[in-house]
Amino acid sequence: QFNVTSFGAMSVAIITLEAFAGMWINAFLVCVLCIAWVKKKALNSNEKILLLLGCSRFCSLCFSWIYSFLSKIYPYCLYTHHILQLLQCSYSFFNCSNFWVSACLCVFYCIKIANFRNRFFIYLKVKIDRIVLLLLLASLIFSLVIGILVYIIIDKAVCKNHNFTCQGRFWQATIRAEEHFYPIHFLTGFVCTTSFVPVIFSAVFLLFSLWRHKHKMQANSVKNISVDAHIKAMKSVLSFLVMYSINFVCLVLTVIYSKKNENTMILLTFIYLYAFPGVHSLILIFSNPKLEKALLKILSCVKCK
């Protein structure tokens, strides 16, 4: 039985368009990198991070869209035991890996491009490939832990709330059991904070390194390659820093307005949250010459047809 209002239909339509656009962009990113992997038999550290980031964002958007679709169009399906737990667990795993892999990308740019004479920093620059693998592995392990915790928290909340399967929309049932979901809000804040801190430090170190390098090269009128590399890295890191800050504010607003049942504000925040994975991946594609060339080639072929 379908239970959807005109507002719900509009929100589902908007979210669906954004989710599928974001999935297409990240699927393109993954496909291009996989083809390059097959051809070259190897990927560099930057490509490994982008590949895992694209996979995380694609799956995150996929599970998030499934949950939103079911909660608006067919909410009673979520009352089936383990369906809600598995959806939220999977979304939490891929969303956390999205945040932390993005942070790994910023750290990679900082170590690879910034110029410091510190011994520890030089050691990191020499061992960057091994460090990237360890960071990615740690990100996946932490994301898996968060996903398992979310599953346990929701499972306990469902079992404790005897009226959880009564008639009515799922979000209303969730609000009645709100006290059980505070740990999830805490986990979301923890994930955002721990992944946001390295992004801020990476931006600060890159900015300081760029300032020092430009100061040294001020007397030289020749265009310097290192300065261009600094600027490109700064654009990528700062774009993520700005979008991440807005994303964090939207997550906070979602928690606040969900308690007040403000559907309009929740929809506005969801519009940005669904746009973030696609828009940032698009920025990363246009900052990479190979990916940009492949995308423009596909778009030109589509335009010709």
Give the pLDDT band (50/70/90) at residue 25.
very high
Mean pLDDT of 265-286: 84
Greater model confidence, 192 or 132: 132
Give the pLDDT band (50/70/90) at residue 97.
very high
Which two tokens mark 53?
Answer: 């980031």
Q: Residue 96: phi, psi to the nearest 5?
A: -65, -45
Mean pLDDT of 217-239: 64
Tell me the residue range of the domain where 211 lies: 4-304
Q: On the CB side of 93, how many CA atoms lie within 13 Å of its CA? A: 19
Q: Are 48 and 136 in contact (CB under 8 A)?
A: yes
Give the pLDDT band (50/70/90) at residue 4.
very low
Residue 272 maps to which CATH number? 1.20.1070.10
Give the pLDDT band (50/70/90) at residue 2.
very low
Amino acid sitting at position 209: S
Which two tokens mark 5?
Answer: 């209002």
Greater model confidence, 92 or 185: 92
Q: Are 100 and 143 in contact (CB under 8 A)?
A: yes
Does 186 have pLDDT greater than 60?
yes
* Ramachandran quadrant class, 244 (left: phi over 0; alpha: psi -120 to 50; beta: rest): alpha
Which two tokens mark 158?
Answer: 């469902």
Number of structural domains (the chain) is 1
Quote the mean pLDDT of the chain: 78
How many residues are present in the chain? Answer: 305
Separation between Cα atoms, residue 103 and residue 195, nearest integer Å: 6
Mean pLDDT of 36-50: 89
Task: State residue 167's pLDDT score.
Answer: 39
